[in-house]
Structure 1
């Protein structure tokens, strides 16, 4: 049994994770614990506050007690809003707190793109434009070319959590532009696990989403690879050998 730990700021698309666990169809468990989440708003300063060591510590003990072997911080905006260097320091602090390998969903997007050999990606975000721009900057710092961004302008995670399949598909299509190798949907409040096959069929390219990438990143930290086609191209490709 491989036990993965996911830290979430509040109840962001929580039911995606048991669905993914079921679709993996293997000896993998995904444990969720919540951190502090005082205010549901997409303000940059507020999101930065969700990723402090004090906030992250609130969920770490629960993951240790559950027997998690790795931990991924799924508050994407509370990671990439600090920039590449700030997010790296945050992950190092989380690893020290948890006593296990740690990462964040933000880094998961970059690592997943690299594993699939992707260089040119587009972003479809429910976020306001300023936050979407910060995510695009984070991807560029990770060596990716961002071909375009699309912002839905939602100011709370609760709003994103109400979106259904058609809303998510519309956003992904709006973000897609010629020459894009993949579309990234970074909001962890979006329910996407049930829609991945449809999204990739509609766009004819890989689609990476927050909950999908979060679990994949936890597996990467645990040195596990699982073939699960219903979870998209990311879960059907053999890992590339990095130069």
Structure 2
């Protein structure tokens, strides 16, 4: 049994995680601890609040007691808001507090894009343009080129959590262009775990979503590989060797 730990801000789309646990169909246990969410709407300043070191540190004790082998801060905007170096500092502090390997959703998107060989991506975001721009900058620092970005925000997290497949598909379609090798949906408040195959079929390319890449990142930290076609191309492809 491999136990994976996640710190999730607030109560929005956290039920994606037990759903993913079921879809993995393996000896994987997913444990979620909730942290304070801060503001529900995405503003340029607001994403920094939930990822404050003291907030994350308060959440790790429950994960240690659960036997988690790795922890991932399950927020994209809460991890990319302070840039590439800021995210590294955040993860180092989290690993120190937790006493186990750690990462965050923003790094998960970078590692997942590399895994599927996507160097040019489109971003479909519920953020305002300024916050989407911060994510673009974060990806650029990792040599992932954002060839298209579509922002419909600011959409409050509570509202984003009510979106179904049709709204999420429309968001992804509006962002996608032929040059993009994958489409990224970074908002961790969106319920996407049940919709990835439909999204990929419609767009004809890999789709990376916050909950999907976050769980994949935790598996990566524990050196586990699980074939789970219901979770999209990320969970079915062989690793890409970057040259």
Task: Give the shorter-chain TM-score range.
Answer: over 0.9
- Other-structure match for 1:90: 90
C-alpha displacement of 1:136: 0.8
Distance 2:96 2:25 in 1: 31
- Residue by residue over 1:3-59, the C-alpha shift from the partner in whole angstroms, topping out at 9 and shown as x without a partner, is 000101101301111110000000001100011223322122222121111110121
C-alpha displacement of 1:242: 4.6
Q: Note the 1:171-210 alignment, pairs <5 A.
A: 171-210=171-210
Distance 1:44 1:222 in 2: 33
- Other-structure match for 2:48: 48
For the Cα contact (< 8 Å) 1:108–1:216, is it kept in 2? Answer: yes
Distance 2:224 2:241 in 1: 15
Q: Which runs of 5+ in 1 are unaligned?
A: none
Distance 1:61 1:73 in 2: 14
C-alpha displacement of 1:241: 3.7
Distance 1:208 1:56 in 2: 24
Distance 2:209 2:112 in 1: 10
Question: Secondary structure, in 3 states, of the residue corresponding to 1:121?
Answer: strand
- Other-structure match for 1:76: 76
For the Cα contact (< 8 Å) 2:72–2:102, is it kept in 1? Answer: yes
- Residues 184 and 38 of structure 1: is their aligned pair in 2 closer, same or farther, counting only changes over 3 Å? closer
C-alpha root-mean-square deviation of aligned residues, in Å? Answer: 1.0
| 2:224 is aligned with 1:224 | yes
- Residue by residue over 1:182-218, the C-alpha shift from the partner in whole angstroms, topping out at 9 and shown as x without a partner, is 0000000000000000000000000000000000000
- Residue by residue over 1:148-177, the C-alpha shift from the partner in whole angstroms, topping out at 9 and shown as x without a partner, is 100011341111101110000000000001
- Other-structure match for 1:166: 166
Select between 138-147 and 42-51 the one with higher mean Cα deviation: 42-51
For the Cα contact (< 8 Å) 1:123–1:183, is it kept in 2? Answer: yes
Distance 2:114 2:105 in 1: 14
| 2:39 is aligned with 1:11 | no
For the Cα contact (< 8 Å) 2:42–2:153, is it kept in 1? Answer: no
Select between 219-228 and 41-50 the one with higher mean Cα deviation: 41-50
- Residues 49 and 38 of structure 1: is their aligned pair in 2 closer, same or farther, counting only changes over 3 Å? closer
Q: Which runs of 5+ in 2 are unaligned?
A: none
Distance 2:223 2:56 in 1: 24
- Other-structure match for 1:63: 63
Distance 1:78 1:219 in 2: 21
For the Cα contact (< 8 Å) 1:7–1:72, is it kept in 2? Answer: yes
- Other-structure match for 2:125: 125
- Other-structure match for 1:39: 39
The count of corresponding residues between Structure 1 and Structure 2 is 243
